[in-house]
Amino acid sequence: MLGRLYGAAKKLGGGLKFLFGIMKKNPIILIIALVALLIRWFLNLWRNNEEFREFFINLWEGIKDFFAGIGEAIGKIIEWLGDRFGFVVDSILAAAYNIKKILSGIIDFIVGVFTGDWERAWQGVQDIFSGIVGGLWAIFKIPLNLIISGINTFIRG
Long-range contacts of 148-156 (CB under 8 A, 24+ apart): 149/84, 149/85, 149/87, 153/84
Its pTM stands at 0.45
The Cα–Cα gap between 124 and 137 comes to 20
**82 has pLDDT over 80:** no
CA distances 68 to 18, 64, 73, 157, Å, are: 51, 6, 9, 29
The Cα–Cα gap between 10 and 3 comes to 10
The Cα–Cα gap between 117 and 109 comes to 9
**86 has pLDDT over 90:** no
33 versus 103: the higher-pLDDT residue is 103
pLDDT at site 123: 93
**122 has pLDDT over 90:** yes
Q: How confident is the model at residue 133 (pLDDT cuts 50, 70, 90)?
A: very high
**131 has pLDDT over 80:** yes
3-state secondary structure string across 124-144:
HHHHHHHHHHHHHHHHHHHHH
CB 94 within 8 A of CB 131: no
pLDDT digits (tens, 9 = 90+) for 55-73: 988 988 888 888 888 888 8
Dmax (CA) of the chain: 107
Q: What is the mean pLDDT of the chain?
A: 83
pLDDT at site 129: 92
Buried b (16+ CB within 10 A) or exposed e, 26-56: eeeeeeeeeeeeeeeeeeeeeeeeeeeeeee
Q: Mean of the pLDDT values across residues 33-38?
A: 84
